[in-house]
Amino acid sequence: MRGLIRAALASAGLGMVAIAVIARWPIAESRDLPAPDGDAYRGAYLARSAGCVACHTNTAAGGAALAGGKALTTPFGSFVPPNITADPVHGIGDMTFAEFAAALRQGVRPDGKAYYPAFPYEFYADFSDQDIADLWAAIRTVPSIAEPAPAHDVRFPFNMRWGLKLWRAAYMKPADISPVLGKSDAWIRGQELVRGAAHCAACHTGRNIFGGLKDSEALAGSDSLPEGETAPSIRPEALKTNGWTVANLTYALKTSVMPNGDVFGGSMAEVVQTGTAFLDEGDREAIATYLLDPPEATRTASGAGASKNSAAVELAGDPVAETNEN
């Protein structure tokens, strides 16, 4: 099915009938979702780790919390993270709990259409009902703002939301987070943050021309970030080549100071300042522990049986593994 949809996406020859069918194709798994009691502190901690606060607040312009973020400029157009305060008209106050959950875990709007992947819901697919209830409670502690954020400015054909359903079907890869035998609790927690909430792959994994993440290049770096930025590889071999250790990576996620004495710039400095600097030390260490020792699958596409050394050699010859050496 995926292959088929991808082929359809690639060939521009979609007729009107197909569009009409796709436009009606229901994508949300509708289910009655009772709202569990949410814990605002847990939710606020999660909203920080997951970047909700960072993206949906325009701090640079002095905007109110969650009232709408700075536009994300991409090759597809510019996306403005909307007002997600509890205001019923301009925010998300009129969403039901089930709709809020469908938005986060499935990327589906209350009207059944899909959200743009500029909203990194792929990484939130693993959130539990409790996580969502906690987020819901945390959002409700924030003063409502009765003003809409500016509209997106997305170019054709990407401004056609029905196309997003195809995109979702073809490329959405819900975060795959599963316990791995023989790994420490810190490692498991790190996996959950890196592959889920903290969505490191959203910037550090390459994307195809449709904006879908390339599996085979997981965390190997990307040059398709908003504003034309580049993010280097954060695979273990690349990290080790650049002098990263669990201790100094943990430290950098709080302070931005890199092992060579330079500091993070661009969006990574923001990730730290508005995100990982708020985490507990144990969580930063968990991220570092996981990144410096991920499971075989993320090492290399072909390296299932490869030893650590040969994987390192492979990566050393890979231009994306080469990172900022000044």
Partner 1 sequence: MTRYNIFGALVLSAIGAAALAHNGATGVVMERMMGMSAMRDAMRDIAPMMQGQADYDEMAVQAAAAVLQQHAGKTMTQLFPEEAIPAASYARPEIWSNWERFSALADELNLYAEALAMAAPNGLVPQTAMTGAMNSMDHGNMPMQSAPKRFSVAELMGVEPLKDAAPAIASPAADETQAVGIDFKMMAADDVFEKVGQTCASCHSAFRKGK
Q: Which residues are near partner 1 by CB under 8 A?
A: 40-42, 44-49, 53, 57, 59-60, 65-66, 127-128, 130-131, 138-139, 141-143, 179, 185-186, 188-189, 192, 196-197, 229-230, 245, 247-248, 251, 254-257, 259-267, 269-270, 272-273, 278-283, 285-286, 324, 326
- 224 binds, options partner 1, ligand HEC, none, Cβ within 5 to 8 A by partner type: none
213 φψ region: left (φ > 0), alpha (ψ -120 to 50), beta (else): beta
Return d(Cα 84, Cα 195) in angstroms, integer.
24
Comparison of 131 and 217: residue with beta carbon closer to partner 1: 131
Three-state SS letters, 253-290: HHHCECCCCCECCHHHHHHHHHCHHHCCHHHHHHHHHH
145 contributes a contact to ligand HEC by CB under 6 A: no
- Ranges within 208-237 binding ligand HEC (CB under 6 A): 225, 229, 231-232, 234
Question: Does 103 sit near ligand HEC (CB under 6 A)?
Answer: yes
Options 9, 22, 28, 52; binder of ligand HEC; rule CB under 6 A: 52
How many CB atoms lie under 10 A from the CB of residue 26?
9
User: CB 18 → partner 1: shortest distance, Å?
Assistant: 39
Tokens for 39? 């814990």
Q: Find which of ligand HEC, partner 1, none residue 186 binds, CB within 5 to 8 Å per kind.
A: partner 1
Q: How many CA atoms lie within 13 A of 212 on its CB side?
A: 19
Does 196 engage in binding with ligand HEC (CB under 6 A)? no
Q: Is position 286 an interface residue for ligand HEC (rule: CB under 6 A)?
A: no
Whole-number Å distance between alpha carbons of 265 and 214: 24
What span, in angstroms and rounded, lies between the C-alpha atoms of 217 and 205? 6
Give the range of 3-11, 12-20, 74-82, 303-311 binding ligand HEC by CB under 6 A.
Answer: 74-82
Q: For Cα atoms 244, 245, 249, give the angle at the middle one, nearest 5 degrees.
A: 75
Q: Which of partner 1, ligand HEC, none sits in contact with 108, Cβ below 5 to 8 A by type?
A: none
By CB under 6 A, tell whether 124 contacts ligand HEC. yes
Helix and strand numbers (H, E) in the chain are: 15, 3
- With CB under 5 to 8 Å by kind, the binding choice for 130 among ligand HEC, partner 1, none is partner 1
Taking the C-alpha atoms of residue 276 and residue 287, their distance in angstroms, rounded to an integer, is 10
Alpha carbon of 97 to those of 15, 45, 110, 242, 260: distances in Å? Answer: 36, 19, 11, 45, 47
Q: How far apart are CA 247 and CA 45, in angstroms?
A: 23
Binding residues for ligand HEC, total number by CB under 6 A:
52
Q: Of 244-263, which residues contact ligand HEC (CB under 6 A)?
A: 249, 261-263
Which CB atom, from 215 or from 262, has the smaller least distance to partner 1? 262
The distance in angstroms from the start CA to the end CA of the chain is 46
Which residue, 4 or 247, is less far from partner 1 as judged by CB? 247
Site membership for ligand HEC, residue 118 (CB under 6 A): yes
Do residues 61 and 291 make contact, with C-beta atoms less than 8 angstroms apart?
A: no
User: 42 is written with which tokens?
Assistant: 């847990």
Residue 128 binds which entry of ligand HEC, partner 1, none, with Cβ cut-offs from 5 to 8 Å by kind?
A: partner 1
Burial class (CB in 10 A: 0-12, 13-18, 19+), 89: exposed
- Contact set with ligand HEC (CB under 6 A): 47, 50-52, 55-56, 79, 81-82, 84, 92, 100, 103-104, 109, 115-116, 118-120, 124, 135, 194, 198-200, 202-204, 225, 229, 231-232, 234, 239, 242, 249, 261-268, 271, 276, 287, 291, 323-324, 326
